[in-house]
Structure 1
Amino acid sequence: MKDALDEKWFRGIAYLLLAATALSCLLPMLHIISLSLSDQQSVVSGRVAFWPQGWSMESYRMLFHGTRILPAFANSLVITFGGILLSMVFTIFAAYPLSRKTMYARRTFTLIIVFTMIFNGGMIPTFLVVKALGLLDSYGAIWFPSLVSAFNMLIMKNYFEQIPEEMEEAAKIDGCGEWRFLTQILLRVSLPVIAMVTLFYAILYWNSFFVVLIYIQDTEKYNLAVLVQQMLQSQSVLQEMNNLRPEDQMATTPEGIRSAGIMVMVIPMLLVYPFLQKYFIKGIMIGAIKG
């Protein structure tokens, strides 16, 4: 009876901690959403908390009409989709041979890759290498230095190792080669881990900020993360906006426009995650069984 009571107390405390953690993540988001959907008077008077006051879409209208949000959004899409494609191809090509027991010195290669998770060349040597390769001011400078994540590769490798060897043997008996087995069989039964790693890379490239500031000099190539950060730091964002009439500038506040910019940046990832959630949970559990 005592054990049952202790278990109830433990579960109650755990639920309280989880609820507090969830609220600490949810409430700031609700506040940003409310600011972006409230009218000027409500925002200036400080009446906006976690629910929009005086519903208005002016902040979004001003954001799309007077800032470079659309070109920055397009740049983010290019960076994200290009990075996902390249990273997934090279991650699969690294994980597959390392998951085969017949590969020579696969343990040595795996340890070398794990070593890069602990030590790396540093920012200045990486910058010099990127500059020597002529990648400055191009998206290649964002893609290639982080082309393969050792963590993602190890998760995919561990998942591939869970695939029964009998499946590969049966495929080879039917005349299936390595390339065909990888593309037509292994990848089809590995959708959970592929979806999970794709989501990891999508978040990495979509939120690219520091590397963009370092390697991209042309402001026309800036992505959403950099644009939103500049909007947050600017104390005169309305004055920097183009093509806005004075009466339009009085229809909203810098806080509302900044909040709208944050939501435009966050919403795509929020829309993608529900479709990958079931694969995400299954992939990270199975891929982490052994290492």
Structure 2
Amino acid sequence: MRASPGERLFYAVNYILLTLLACSCLFPLLHLLSLSFSSPEAIQTGKVGLWPVEFSLDTYKLLASGTSIVRSFWNSVVITLVGIALSMTATILAAYPLSRQSFYARKTLTLAMIFTMIFSGGLIPTYLTVQALGLVDTYWAIWLPGLVSTYNMLILRTYFEQIPSEIEDAARIDGCGEVRLLVRVLLPISLPVIATLTLFYGVAYWNVFFSMLIYINDSTMQNLSVLVQQMIKNQSALQQSMLVQPDEQAHVVEEGIKSAGIVVLVAPMLIAYPFVQKYFVKGVMIGSVKG
């Protein structure tokens, strides 16, 4: 069926607007990437646009040797990997029983969890609770309060509910118990939604910022988000940490170092996304739309 002139115009306008929107998101990132790979002289003279000028890795070498970015990067990796493992395990263990029709009080428990999406205890009671549990200055203060996302749990619960009951009946006839049914049957065929929720949790833990400022006072435990924010906000602290004295050189180092720090912060998520992108739309749509 051929599109009418009005439909072709509509599609053309949509493509143009979406292209402009994509460029508005891509160009700033390309500019930062170019700054991080350009020479100090090119940055100082303002020659850098969307492509590196006088390609150089000096900025990244200086960033690695003059700041604590390596340690902060490792802290972010630990927070993210352990957080994903804990959150996915808890989310699966919550979603599976709530998806079973035979589970007692499943509706009551589901409504209780949905209630937390609308109302919360507040920042001060949450901090006092974390402090009373002795979790301040530990990463458990980051992992435990947000261990299960109700939104993610509902997606996974709905996905489990949509799996044909014949598959479960066949597994039970073959002698599968609840644990084996979950691990050997349901999880393998739930790979799209599992990958999607892993991405959700990974982005959340990698970019965690506010909780780090509240609960983590030890500077050696700060993650990459906090370090980059401090580098951008406090120029004098950056100059002192880089041990740079001349004003012009400090200016150049600041611009390059900030750009390199932002690139290091966003690069892991940009690299990880293509590996789960093929599951992303399928996982969200099947897990969140019941039909």
- 2: CA distance between counterparts of 1:60 and 1:207? 21
Question: Unpaired segments of 5 or more residues in structure 1?
Answer: none
1:96 counterpart SS class: helix
- 2: CA distance between counterparts of 1:167 and 1:226? 47
| Residue 90 of structure 2 corresponds to residue 90 of structure 1 | yes
- 2: CA distance between counterparts of 1:18 and 1:251? 36
Determine the structure 2 residue equivalent to 1:241.
241
Determine the structure 2 residue equivalent to 1:171.
171
- 2: CA distance between counterparts of 1:240 and 1:95? 50
Q: 1:182 is matched by which residue type in structure 2?
A: L
Determine the structure 2 residue equivalent to 1:227.
227
Residues 255-288 of structure 1, C-alpha deviations (whole Å, 9 max, x = no match): 1011001111111111111111111121011111
Q: 1:264 to 1:2 in 2, by over 3 A?
A: closer
Moved more, 233-242 or 11-20: 233-242
Q: Does the CA-based 8 Å contact 1:59-1:252 persist in structure 2?
A: no
Alignment size in residue pairs: 291
Question: Unpaired segments of 5 or more residues in structure 2?
Answer: none
Determine the structure 2 residue equivalent to 1:127.
127
1:159 counterpart SS class: helix
- 2: CA distance between counterparts of 1:237 and 1:57? 23
- 2: CA distance between counterparts of 1:21 and 1:113? 36
Determine the structure 2 residue equivalent to 1:71.
71
| Aligned-residue identity in percent | 56
Q: 1:118 to 1:251 in 2, by over 3 A?
A: closer
2:134 counterpart SS class: coil
- 2: CA distance between counterparts of 1:250 and 1:115? 51
Determine the structure 2 residue equivalent to 1:27.
27
Determine the structure 2 residue equivalent to 1:104.
104
- 2: CA distance between counterparts of 1:96 and 1:280? 21
2:288 counterpart SS class: coil
- 2: CA distance between counterparts of 1:147 and 1:250? 42
Deviation at 1:204, TM superposition (A): 0.3
TM-score, scaled to structure 1: 0.95
Moved more, 223-232 or 233-242: 233-242
Determine the structure 2 residue equivalent to 1:40.
40
Deviation at 1:215, TM superposition (A): 0.1
TM-score, scaled to structure 2: 0.95
Q: Does the CA-based 8 Å contact 1:65-1:243 persist in structure 2?
A: no
Q: Does the CA-based 8 Å contact 1:171-1:181 persist in structure 2?
A: yes
